[in-house]
Amino acid sequence: MIDTGDFLARYGISPSGATLVRPDGVIAWRATEAPSDPTRVLLDVLTTTLAR
């Protein structure tokens, strides 16, 4: 089992942050802290990542 602190450090995020990893293992997006409007941000990120 991976240590939570180790996971956060490896991904460069805080406990409230997030990372979107593509199926090929490439990090597509990272937020070090939770955005103020996570729904909008995630929609924008997915739209950009999926080029739609």
- Residue 51 pLDDT class (50, 70, 90 cuts): confident
| Predicted pLDDT at 24 | 93
pLDDT in tens, 1-44: 567 888 899 899 999 999 999 899 999 999 999 999 999 999 99
Structure token digits, residue 34: 């939770």
| Whole-Å CA distances, 41 to 9, 20, 21 | 22, 12, 15
